[in-house]
Structure 1
Amino acid sequence: MKIVIIGGGVAGLTLGLLLHKKNVDISINERTTSRSDRGHAFLMHADGWSILNKLGENTSISLKGEPISTFSFNRPNGEEIKRLKLSNWKCFKRKDLIKYLYELLPAEKIKAGREFSHFIYQGEKAIAVQFTNGEIEYGDIFIGADGGKSAVRESILGAVNFTEIQVKEVVGICKNESLGTQQRHIFKKFQSNKQGLSFGMIPVSVDEFVWFMQFDTSLADCQCGCSAEELKTFCMNLLADFPPEVSELLDSNDFSKSYIWNTCDFGVLPTFHKNNIVLIGDAAHLALPFTSAGTTNAIMDAQILSEVLFKHDTYVEDFQAFYNLRLKHVEQHILLGRELKEFFLHPSDIHEDDVKVPLISKKVQVENSFNKEINLQYFSDPICSTCWVVQPLLRKLVLEYGHYINVEHRMGGLLPSWENFNRGNISKPSDVAPHWEEECVLYGMPLDGDIWLENPLNSSYPPSIAFKAAQLQDADLASLFLRRIKEMLFIEKINIVDVHFLAKVAFEIGLDSARFLKDYEHKAKDSFLEDLRLANELKVNTLPTLIFSNANQEQIVTKGHQTYNKLEDIVLKLIPNAKKQKINTTPEYLFNRFSTMTNKEYAIITDTSIENSTNTLNYLFEEGFIDKYESKNGVLWKSKSMAY
């Protein structure tokens, strides 16, 4: 079996290498006579670069890439409107990637100067490919990996309808040491909110950037083939009102090595193959560049096709399986690219909260909160110690009965300030310290009361408002945010009042910290006051207060600490036929579901003694499966795979 690959770009080379490692006879045919630097650099998700890294295992050849950990979206006046943490993204120079793949492949497998002309058929089956230089390559299966303007695609499926070119992109790469120091690991983009114009800069090393300028062709245009000086003048004029760092970067650029990219796409193809010829990469599906998904998609195509080949009775069934596996992903990328283009062309139509990140990554599937039979309004406060010690019970309740319960987190406003505060035996910060120490002993959850002696909080309102700011973006991430600031307060003795500190926490757990800060000052305050109004209306005077209700308007209220049996009984009273789910108590599952756990939480969830749980967790730590944070009154165990 011989497989002939037409196209020596990322898709073709990756597929060739994957098949070569499986001892499949391959031939990679590239139309150019030398490796091109065209493309400069690109972002790639771990879905792609992890495959590439694996190809180089057990060799001395390594793939260079610059980690990109932050996306910063700004207006031309420098105002940052979105700041997000990125996970598993790197920026690669195209020439480095091509060089890496070439070095891993035997030289004789790659044949240069071969531009596709046509296939030679025997009946309906292709038996060879003819190149414009007169050379012929025979094979059994043929792979079209010859890019968005694929001649192979046109020969087997006919012409596609490319979308109109409404956006062009100028791309360059240049060195700038001072900006490299300031912008390390940050994908920074400036985009007009009035017209289709943007500028992006992504570091490819400590002192080097790939940059791009996207522009609406109805505003201005510049044709391919213009001189370097004309291209520089064109860019400088369009970006005259952008921040100084933009012109500084452009001044560092050699415009003779920059180029203009006419961006377009085409719709989802009804198939990727015809008989024994199949398409991969841009030849099979071309998305607009706004998603930064092209290279990752090419590599994923190569990986998946290499896996399904020879798995079925015929290669046609293999190709259909490949198409079925890739169809939804491809369609998602094409649609997102088009959506982002519309936002780009008509920015005034989009509210800033709805600005999407121009990157595709895997989406976390969350449970559907609709149509659940019980609604639970949970009134708590970030500094409420009893709200902290009930965490093991609530986590277990969600694991066993979460398929019935929709949880609404609301703030109770425990500490407006210390002025005239008097609740129980507590009227000043130093009164809280012994109370926390007592609860730690009583309930087995770690609390360190020393913060109230060393660095006391003056109010619980700032972290409460911060939670509401997080909740306005994403309810699930808001829960993680609340958990994290509680850990910092109760275990790590960190004062969680300062909003800029809270914004850093929001960023670390995956929220947009720029939007977080804006919401904190406006919308979140209104949302917090609404919670206080509702708490007053419902006579919530103890925290935590849990209000359970079902579709029949039956309601059960609990206040303060409860036993797990009491919480379970409430569920069964509201839903008599409720069936609890069996908890998967493997450490792999639990530390994937919860990124941190205490000894008490692990014991309650796994239904084991504190002693046995502690022994298990210590063993997992010694084996390198988890990390730990040790405090005066207990340990917080941390998943290594789900860092904040």
Structure 2
Amino acid sequence: MKVVIIGGGIAGLSIGIFLRRSNFEIIICERELATPNRGNAFLMHSEGVRILKELTYGGFTNNTFPGSIIDRFSLRRPDDSEVIFQKMEPWQCIKRKEIIEYLDSFSPDHLIKYDRNFSHFEYKDGKAIAAVFLNGEKEYGDLFIGADGGLSKVREELFGKTDFTPTEVKEVLGLLQDKDICDRYRGQLTKFQHRSKGLSFGFIPATEDKLVWYSQYDVRINDLTDALNPRSLRKFCKELLSEFPPIVQEIIEKETYQNAYIWNTRDFDLLPSFHKSNVVLIGDAAHLSLPFTSAGTTNALVDANTLINCMLNEKDLEQAFSKFYELRATEIKEQIELGRNLKKDFLNPLNKTDDDLIVPLIKKQQNLVSKLGSDRTIHVLYYTDPICSTCWAIQPQLRKLQLEYDESVKIEYKMGGLLPSWDNFDRRGIKSPADVAEHWEKVCEFYQMPINQNIWLEDPLPSSYPPSIAFKAAQLQDTDLAVMFLRRIREMVFLEKKNIIKKEFLFKAAFEVGLDAARLMRDLEGKAQLLFREDLILSDALEIDELPTLIFTNKEGLQSSIKGYVEYENLEEIIHKLEPNLTKRSYDNSPEYLFKIFPTITTKEFAFMRSEKDVESRKILEDLYSKELITRFESFAGNIWKSNFEKLNA
């Protein structure tokens, strides 16, 4: 079977490589006179990276893949105040020229025909038999793939004139060579967005010394009316972005504008099909999303990968193309709708508060253990505190409880306000930081959970209220990530001797677990304080006088509670008392699974979850460490181990 591919961009080259690998005869027809390399750079999702690595027979590895990994996002206002600072699922910022040239190298010269601008098809018995080009050439084939971009002539031939949405937002794009700026902002997508009008500026380091920058603007605000040339574009950008901070002024001043251009952004509704007879569309020819979603390049690769799998697995082309549409249409429709909603928000920025802004590059992390939360039969009200050493000591029990009973037991975290201040403080003989140091040393020795008590001698916390309020701020964003945040600040204070009253550590912990650190800092001064007071009021009403306190309640309202340190058997006893027929779940206790669920684990926790002696667990952990599958933070009181499985398996 001969396949004629119309379009030699990323979509066309990718499907061509896949087809050749599967022994199809192919020819790629490109309208340009040489390899097309328009466009500066783009963001590619991890799924696109995976497909590209597979596509090139392992030609790209983690060490040789072009471009830069982008794993954090900063959204700021023109006054340089930060609205969002959050970890991203890693994306790759790649120069378009590098990818096109690399993909082109996998297609021999005789398989790519240039200067072939599509005109129309010739048909026989309702099927296309040849593609005709404006230069008079024809290419006969059995199957035709339209990969000729957003202005696709193939799509127009199949479905008629495309009804594009009007261009309400335009985008200026440029590529600046500047190693200093790239070094300062390595790994970060930085975006400045106006608070009251549709205007933004963003930039991303694409290589060691080149950054791609863009400015999106509402055409009602301003537009370039002069002829498009470097001088007029420079003048336009300086006027448009005059309110923006020094780093923006630095970029637009250094830019030469020789390769900068303006993109008229638009899209069209989902097509009723991606094919007619023996002609099928992929990439932007099949579907076009607005740039707010950053989905275009990844979509081209996913389309190519999906189409070849359908062609190989379905019994005929008609079924293959129908399956291709079935697999892709829902996601594409969602992306189109998302792009339009984001454009609406962009054009009407005052309709959204800072907390309501949507960042499509950031996906909500999911609890890997929980499945059917609505079916949980037991509710646990857990009163705790970030600096409560006994709460730290029962972490092994709570983690095993999550593994065995998380489908049936829901834990709700409340803050108990352990240390308001040291003024007139006297709690079970503890009156000063030195007393806490002595107490922590005893807890560490008795329960074998690593605790470095020296923080109370070197940099004692004046109160546990600020980190408690920070936890409530984390809960405002995501209850699962809030638990991870609480775990992280506990590691900081119990092992790393970090004074978690300091905002720099709270900010760092929030970012590390995937929270929006900038929002947490805002909520710390506002909403979270009210929530913390509500926890304390409820604590007084429930007469909570010891931490930890766990209050178990079943669906009938029957309750049972535990105070202080508790053995795992006692937790199970209460659960079965409230729900006699409840059965626990068996779980995979392999190191890889445990570290997937819990990215950091102490030796005591690892041994407890595996039901083995500490000495046996220590040997396993040291072996994993020697193989670089985990890393460790060493403390004189004990180690904590951090997963490296995911990075090594990427």
TM (norm. structure 2) is 0.94
Alpha-carbon distance in structure 1 between the residues aligned to 2:146 and 2:350: 41
- SS of match in other structure, 2:105: helix
- In structure 2, what is the equivalent of residue 428 of structure 1? 432
Does residue 622 of structure 1 match 2:626?
Answer: yes
- In structure 1, what is the equivalent of residue 43 of structure 2? 43
Alpha-carbon distance in structure 2 between the residues aligned to 1:142 and 1:522: 60
Check 1:163–1:329 CA distance in 2 against 1; reply closer, same or farther (3 A cut).
Answer: same
Check 1:290–1:151 CA distance in 2 against 1; reply closer, same or farther (3 A cut).
Answer: same
Residues 264-343 of structure 1: matches in 2 within 5 Å? 264-343=266-345
- In structure 2, what is the equivalent of residue 556 of structure 1? 560
Does residue 569 of structure 1 match 2:581?
Answer: no
Amino acid at match of 2:435: D
- In structure 2, what is the equivalent of residue 13 of structure 1? 13
- State the 1:113 CA deviation: 1.0
- Contact (CA 8 Å) 2:40, 2:212: kept in 1 or not? yes
- State the 1:58 CA deviation: 5.8
- Contact (CA 8 Å) 2:474, 2:485: kept in 1 or not? yes
- In structure 2, what is the equivalent of residue 32 of structure 1? 32
Instruction: Identify the match of residue 492 of structure 2 among 488, 492, 515.
Output: 488
- State the 1:337 CA deviation: 0.8
Amino acid at match of 1:404: S
Does residue 447 of structure 1 match 2:442?
Answer: no
Alpha-carbon distance in structure 2 between the residues aligned to 1:468 and 1:165: 43
Check 1:543–1:361 CA distance in 2 against 1; reply closer, same or farther (3 A cut).
Answer: closer
Alpha-carbon distance in structure 2 between the residues aligned to 1:248 and 1:441: 56
Amino acid at match of 2:32: T
- State the 1:282 CA deviation: 0.9
Amino acid at match of 2:142: D
Q: Percent of aligned pairs with the same residue?
A: 48
Check 1:191–1:67 CA distance in 2 against 1; reply closer, same or farther (3 A cut).
Answer: same
- In structure 1, what is the equivalent of residue 108 of structure 2? 106
Amino acid at match of 1:459: S
Deviation string, structure 1 residues 336-385 (Cα, Å, up to 9, x no partner): 11111011000000011011114265864664544532221111011111
Does residue 578 of structure 1 match 2:582?
Answer: yes
Alpha-carbon distance in structure 1 between the residues aligned to 2:523 and 2:211: 32
- SS of match in other structure, 1:255: coil
Alpha-carbon distance in structure 2 between the residues aligned to 1:556 and 1:129: 76
Q: For structure 1, which segment, 562-571 or 622-631, has the greater mean C-alpha deviation from structure 2 after superposition?
A: 622-631
Residues 494-573 of structure 1: matches in 2 within 5 Å? 494-573=498-577
Does residue 207 of structure 1 match 2:209?
Answer: yes
Amino acid at match of 1:482: L
- In structure 2, what is the equivalent of residue 164 of structure 1? 166
Deviation string, structure 1 residues 148-185 (Cα, Å, up to 9, x no partner): 12111222233342212211111122234443343333
Q: For structure 1, which segment, 429-438 or 68-77, has the greater mean C-alpha deviation from structure 2 after superposition?
A: 429-438
CA RMSD in angstroms comes to 2.2
Alpha-carbon distance in structure 1 between the residues aligned to 2:516 and 2:475: 12
- Contact (CA 8 Å) 2:53, 2:59: kept in 1 or not? no
- Contact (CA 8 Å) 1:290, 1:359: kept in 2 or not? no
- SS of match in other structure, 2:165: coil
Alpha-carbon distance in structure 2 between the residues aligned to 1:327 and 1:635: 49
- In structure 2, what is the equivalent of residue 173 of structure 1? 175
Alpha-carbon distance in structure 2 between the residues aligned to 1:226 and 1:622: 59
- Contact (CA 8 Å) 1:333, 1:360: kept in 2 or not? no
Does residue 359 of structure 1 match 2:398?
Answer: no
Unaligned runs of 5+ in 1: none
- State the 1:559 CA deviation: 0.8
Alpha-carbon distance in structure 2 between the residues aligned to 1:458 and 1:275: 74
Check 1:333–1:621 CA distance in 2 against 1; reply closer, same or farther (3 A cut).
Answer: same
- Contact (CA 8 Å) 1:10, 1:295: kept in 2 or not? yes
Check 1:131–1:617 CA distance in 2 against 1; reply closer, same or farther (3 A cut).
Answer: same
Deviation string, structure 1 residues 447-504 (Cα, Å, up to 9, x no partner): 2223323333222112111211211111111111111111122223322221122101
Alpha-carbon distance in structure 1 between the residues aligned to 2:409 and 2:340: 37
Alpha-carbon distance in structure 1 between the residues aligned to 2:393 and 2:204: 45
Check 1:360–1:97 CA distance in 2 against 1; reply closer, same or farther (3 A cut).
Answer: farther
- State the 1:145 CA deviation: 0.9
- Contact (CA 8 Å) 2:373, 2:408: kept in 1 or not? no
- Contact (CA 8 Å) 2:53, 2:60: kept in 1 or not? no
Amino acid at match of 1:568: E
Amino acid at match of 1:311: N
Amino acid at match of 1:10: I
Q: For structure 1, which segment, 331-340 or 605-614, has the greater mean C-alpha deviation from structure 2 after superposition?
A: 605-614
- Contact (CA 8 Å) 1:223, 1:260: kept in 2 or not? no
Residues 339-418 of structure 1: matches in 2 within 5 Å? 339-359=341-361, 364=366, 367=370, 369-370=373-374, 372-418=376-422
Alpha-carbon distance in structure 2 between the residues aligned to 1:411 and 1:146: 58
Alpha-carbon distance in structure 2 between the residues aligned to 1:67 and 1:331: 28
Amino acid at match of 1:30: E
- Contact (CA 8 Å) 1:343, 1:350: kept in 2 or not? yes
Alpha-carbon distance in structure 2 between the residues aligned to 1:385 and 1:500: 23
- In structure 1, what is the equivalent of residue 52 of structure 2? 52
Alpha-carbon distance in structure 1 between the residues aligned to 2:292 and 2:524: 30
Alpha-carbon distance in structure 2 between the residues aligned to 1:9 and 1:295: 10
- SS of match in other structure, 1:403: coil
Amino acid at match of 1:633: A
- SS of match in other structure, 1:432: helix
Alpha-carbon distance in structure 1 between the residues aligned to 2:597 and 2:10: 36
- State the 1:306 CA deviation: 2.4
Deviation string, structure 1 residues 88-147 (Cα, Å, up to 9, x no partner): 112111111111111232222221111112223332332332222222222232211111
- SS of match in other structure, 1:257: coil
Q: For structure 1, which segment, 582-591 or 15-24, has the greater mean C-alpha deviation from structure 2 after superposition?
A: 15-24
- SS of match in other structure, 1:541: coil
Deviation string, structure 1 residues 401-451 (Cα, Å, up to 9, x no partner): 111222211111111222222222322222223322322232232222233
- Contact (CA 8 Å) 1:197, 1:215: kept in 2 or not? yes
Instruction: Identify the match of residue 607 of structure 1 among 584, 608, 611.
Output: 611
Alpha-carbon distance in structure 2 between the residues aligned to 1:2 and 1:633: 69
Check 1:361–1:127 CA distance in 2 against 1; reply closer, same or farther (3 A cut).
Answer: farther
Alpha-carbon distance in structure 2 between the residues aligned to 1:45 and 1:457: 42
Q: For structure 1, which segment, 338-347 or 19-28, has the greater mean C-alpha deviation from structure 2 after superposition?
A: 19-28
- Contact (CA 8 Å) 2:379, 2:553: kept in 1 or not? yes
Deviation string, structure 1 residues 538-567 (Cα, Å, up to 9, x no partner): 111111111121232222211111121221
- Contact (CA 8 Å) 1:432, 1:452: kept in 2 or not? yes
Alpha-carbon distance in structure 2 between the residues aligned to 1:286 and 1:377: 48
Count of residue pairs the alignment pairs up: 643
- Contact (CA 8 Å) 1:63, 1:100: kept in 2 or not? no
Alpha-carbon distance in structure 1 between the residues aligned to 2:241 and 2:341: 24
